[in-house]
Amino acid sequence: MILSRVLAFAQRRLLGLMLGCYALAAVLPGPGEALRGLGAPLPGGSLRITLPTVLLALMVFNAGLGVRVADLRAVARRPLRSVLGVAANALLPLAVLPLAALVVSLWPDAAEAEGLVVGLMLVLAMPIAGGAASWAQIAGGNMPLVVSTVIGSTLLSPLTVPATLYVAGRVVGPAGIGALDDTATIDGIARTGAGTFAIVAVVLPCLAGMGARAALGEPAVRRALPTVKAVNLLNTLLLCYVNATGALGRALAHPDPDLLVMAPCAAAVVCFLGFRCGRWASGRTRCDLPDSISLTLATGMNNSSAAAALAATWFAQRPQVLLPILAYSLFQKVAAQTAARPRGRR
């Protein structure tokens, strides 16, 4: 009972706790930098398994543990809106990123502008965040629908993430808008890193969590859920701190006020457009209120922790890539909180 109350209190103040982790990363980055450096390469591959990757896998495992197969069976009978949610989230970067890249490319510092575009590209390419289910439950959304979109997006991520990065690179690269002078690194991630990363850090942990629930049985899982939620909360905050040290520690060591303002502004605009696209899609398909809430959250929420872990692997020395990802993580929770608020209180 006490643990449940503590968890409820912490979840209500999750944004404040995340800001606290960011502040700690800014003033005490040393331990986080040391933790980020822990890791080992996968045998025969280009991916390095780091502590952020392990923490991300644990988070996804816990999300899989919370999935009931009965919910997925209910949606399988009427899969159209679930497919719509997965497709909307996957296609969102191609709708939002060109506009964001066009605006950011006007920034006078080309290196900073390129870093911001890459960070936004990484976070938009990620699958639907598992937190969408939690916000949908608070708002009275269609839970089977949002759970199925999260699982579908997760299982397809080894295909969708590399494809999105490759296509988005063409759109904003030299042959497109021109926000990126060179897409070689993005192409390298799409060819060799993103698919493997999605399998190791996202798909396999999710399937393992779902398998563990089936093996343990519903009564045992219900008894363990408070402990699982407590572990997941601590894991989330530790991951938040470790990822933030890679961006805030370096950014504040050599402060650039313009960049510290531009990164949150760009992330806020992209996040807002994502949620508006979800609201528009649910309105065009004449969804009822529960379905509309679920589709809006599924379209607008991306796994920012996965984006930060991938960025830490490939762009460890470029804080301008991580800054918009960290800002997006905060803004999407604010947007989800607004979307999840009952209509009469908006």
| Measured distance CA(127)–CA(160) in Å, rounded | 8
Provide the pLDDT for residue 343: 47
Position 30, amino acid: G
Instruction: Report the candidate in 251, 253, 257 with the shortest Cα–Cα distance to residue 325.
Output: 251
Among 246, 189, 201, smallest CA distance to 46 is for 189
Tokens of 5: 């109350």
Give mean pLDDT in consecutive 10-residue pieces for the chain, a chain of 346 residues.
Answer: 69 77 82 77 64 83 78 72 85 84 78 84 88 76 82 87 85 72 76 78 86 86 82 83 76 72 87 86 79 85 85 76 87 79 47
Q: How much is the pLDDT for 45?
A: 54
Decide: helix, strand or coil at residue 346.
Answer: coil
Read off the tokens for 308.
Answer: 């930060």
Domain ranges of the chain: 38-341
Angle (nearest 5°) at CA 180 between 178 and 184: 125
Let me know: does 324 contact 245? Beta carbons within 8 Å. Answer: no
Measure the CA–CA gap between 222 and 218, rounded to whole angstroms.
Answer: 6
What is the pLDDT at residue 178?
Answer: 65
Contacts of 77 (CB under 8 A, 6+ apart): none
- In terms of Cα–Cα distance, which of 159, 139, 106, 177 is closest to 300? 139
Which two structure tokens, joined as six digits, stand for 270?
């992209």
What's the pLDDT at 262? Answer: 84
CB 154 within 8 A of CB 206: yes
The class that CATH gives domain 38-341 is mainly alpha
Residue with tokens 């590399």: 162
Residue 115: predicted pLDDT:
83
Helices (H), 181-217: 184-188, 194-198, 204-216
**pLDDT of res. 346:** 42
The upper half-sphere exposure of residue 214, i.e. CA atoms within 13 Å in the direction of its Cβ, equals 9
Number of H helices, E strands in the chain: 18, 2
Tokens coding 154 = 């997760």
pLDDT on residue 38: 74
